[in-house]
Amino acid sequence: ADLSHVCTPATTKGYKKEEVAEALKGCSVVVIPAGVPRKPGMTRDDLFNTNANIVATLAESCAKYCPEAFFCIISNPVNSTVPIFRQVLQKHGVYNPKR
């Protein structure tokens, strides 16, 4: 996601898929805008099937490398991807409903 418009001294850096441990280790906030946008003719089910797998994979990594972070999931459909993220954290015993 383009975060260059955010007024903050924080810096951002891109990582490759195989660098996920380095990217997440020690993070206190993780923003997940991953997935594909809804395209013309695409149903919500199509969008869910694609983005749910992406979010679940990222949740696995977050549970392993930064379980204490705050997570901002903005992958559509949000009302479906957020519960998936929660279920993965619960499976790993790191879910905190106050975060």
Over its length of 99 residues, how does the chain's per-residue pLDDT go in tens digits? Answer: 566 677 777 777 788 989 999 999 999 999 998 888 888 998 888 888 889 999 999 999 999 999 999 999 999 899 999 999 999 999 999 999 988
> What pLDDT score was predicted for residue 58?
95
Structure tokens at 45: 């089910």
For the purposes of burial, counting CB atoms within 10 Å of the CB of 69, is it exposed (0-12), middle (13-18) or buried (19 or more)? middle
User: For the whole model, what pTM was predicted?
Assistant: 0.83
What's 5's DSSP letter? T
- Cα separations in angstroms, 70 against 5, 47, 49, 97: 21, 25, 25, 11
Numbers of helices and strands, H then E, in the chain: 3, 2
Whole-number average pLDDT of the chain? 90
Q: Which pLDDT score is estimated for 5?
A: 73
pLDDT digits (tens, 9 = 90+) for 51-62: 999 999 999 999
Q: How far is CA 63 from CA 12, 56, 74, in A?
A: 21, 10, 18
